Amino acid sequence: MDDLATRDLIRYSGRGAFSPGVIERAEGASVFTEDGRELLDFTSGQMSAILGHSHPEIVATVQQQAARLDHLYSGMLSRPVIDLARRLAETLPEPLDKALFLTTGAESNEAALRMAKLVTGKHEIVSFARSWHGMTQAAANATYRAGRVGYGPAAPGNFALPVPDAFHPDIVDSSGELDWRRQLDLGFDLIDAQSVGSLAACIVEPILSSGGVIDLPPGYLAALREKCHERGMLLILDEAQTGLCRTGDWYAFERDGVVPDILTLSKTLGAGLPLAAVLTSAEIEQQAHDRGFLFFTTHVNDPLPAAVGNTVLDVLTRDRLDVRARELGERLTGGLRELAGRHPVIGDVRGRGLLVGLELTAGPDGGDVDKLGAAVTRRCTELGLHMNIVQLPGMGGTFRIAPPLTATEAEIDRGLGILDEALTDVGRQQ
């Protein structure tokens, strides 16, 4: 596989090679290699395939829609686009009732940031110090997790906010617990000191996924929204991985009762196909339009992916996959906590629904947690389980676990069993 990559492909991740084997097909919660191996997929592809791979209704929609109407001039409208905009608005609280459909999360975040700058007349953007919002210009400038070294200067006016990580608290209260209110206050004190008075927006994930599956503490989003609105900033929530039932709610922000000024969706909206969305209020949309908002792309509001999005909403609603994600999430989290009782290297289990983080620690004897995480990942692959590790220096022992919402209880249990065996095997080799 490395020979193939070296010969024919541009490697797009600097921290590692491609996974071993060539994938031939995928079905449900599994992918299959050309040499006949099955891998249970605990990442839902790229954290996207919430209905599993090759869901029969998605397959039928693609076949039928491609034969009828797949792509249009960007100024034309189609029934799938009109229907999807209306139906998404019906799943959201007021005033989020205007939609724009694009292809990737980076693109939707790019459009949201562009809209926020235009509407506010400002240019400064705040995001978390372990954020990942995409690789296009504004999205990459708001991304601090990786990809900042070696590309020249970032756009001026991007500021990092400290991450409220309860497992690794940097500011604590009298009991030693994370004091996120003081941390947030200090973060904005520093931002205010650096700002030139042009704060436009703050963009965050309700659960930082690539940053280590950090679930924002209850109350944090409301406090963050207040900080933003005090400064005339818009709050943008990036629910690429948390939206559409994965956390046990339709949207992760529902838990906190906080409605963003702009919401971005991707990944889960297309259930693995390239579909993203920007949603905002009629008031903000009108202001953007009046000021000449421009985000004209080749595949904006394309009918084929929009038809897939409608089918995704059909299946999520009919099969009550928000409830399913809560139930399976309890089973997964409970099983991981049982493993933590048997494997001292498991330091923390966190997350919501079927977006769960498992953090390994070096243990009392020390050791390299990055190497430990890599070894467990390799052994899981050998045993038939695909797992994803956070690839931040010093955080290489944090797994992002996100099986499809359509996974069975038996598949959850099988994955837990493989992880148990992998931890045991690697532990013997330490």
* Tokens, residue 103: 């292809």
Q: Are 300 and 102 in contact (CB under 8 A)?
A: yes
Choice among 322, 324, 400, 411 that is catalytic: 400
**Token pair of 232, please?**
């005339």
Q: What whole-number distance in Å separates Cα of residue 3 and Cα of residue 42? A: 27
Determine which one of 98, 227, 267, 324 is catalytic: 267
R_g (Cα) of the chain, nearest Å? 21
What's phi and psi for 208, nearest 5 deg?
-70, 115
Active site residue 238: yes
Specify whether 241 is catalytic: yes
Rounded to whole angstroms, the Cα distance separating 41 from 201 reads 36
∠ Cα 381 383 386 (to 5°): 35
**Catalytic site includes residue 132:** yes
Catalytic residue among 110, 124, 179, 238: 238
**Distance in angstroms (rounded) separating the CA atoms of residues 131 and 209:** 8
Cis peptide before 217 (omega within 30 of 0): no
Catalytic residue among 124, 130, 132, 179: 132
Let me know: does 400 contact 390? Beta carbons within 8 Å. yes
Asked if 267 is an active-site residue, the reply is: yes
Longest CA–CA span in the chain (Å) reads 65
Q: What beta strand segments (E) does 318-414 contain?
A: 346-352, 355-360, 385-386, 388-389, 398-401
CA–CA distance, 20 with 27 (Å, rounded to integer): 19
H/E stretch holding 417 reads: helix 409-429
Judge contact between 199 and 121, C-beta under 8 A.
no
**Contact in structure between 196 and 157 (CB atoms under 8 Å):** yes
Contacts of 189 (CB under 8 A, 6+ apart): none
* SS3 assignment, position 75: coil
Instruction: State the virtual CA torsion across 339, 411, 23, 422 in degrees, nearest 10.
Output: 20
Among residues 41, 110, 179, 205, the one annotated as catalytic is 205
| 188: three-class secondary structure by DSSP | helix
Strand spans (E) along 120-208 = 124-128, 158-161, 199-204, 207-208
Active site residues: 132, 205, 238, 241, 267, 400
